[in-house]
Amino acid sequence: MYAVVLTGGKQYVAKQGELLKVEKLEGSKGDIIELDKVLAIIEEDKDIQIGKPYIESAKIKAKIVFQGKDKKIVVGKYKKRKKYRRKMGHRQLTTHLLVTDIKH
């Protein structure tokens, strides 16, 4: 069984016992959080539940494993014949979650 969950403006597929790397969430390492914006739940050999827009009774419990930064994304600006070059970088704050339970 797996679920599609919305967090940080993005959709993720969550399976029980797997890690999710999502946008930064409030909390510290070891905290248990609940994700309640579940868009769909898919079970093997059963029907698919799809929310309008969310499934109200569904919740996903997850444990925060790591809070940190993602790999650096390097962006460059360049204008030809103007001697203008600029190199910039960005590291997005992320949270790694271990999905412990999917309730529906």
Burial class for 69, CB neighbours closer than 10 Å (0-12, 13-18, 19+)? exposed
The 8-class DSSP code of residue 97 comes to E
Q: What is the pLDDT of residues 11-56, one digit of tens each?
A: 999 999 999 999 999 999 999 999 999 999 999 888 899 999 999 9
Amino acid in position 81: R
pTM for the model = 0.83
pLDDT of residue 15: 94
Q: How far apart are CA 21 and CA 12, in angstroms?
A: 9
Domain map of the chain by residue range?
A: 2-67+96-103
CA distances, 100 to each of 14, 17, 20, 70, 79 (Å):
10, 6, 11, 23, 50
Q: Which pLDDT score is estimated for 3? A: 94
Quick one: DSSP state of residue 55?
Answer: -
- The whole-number pLDDT of residue 46 equals 81
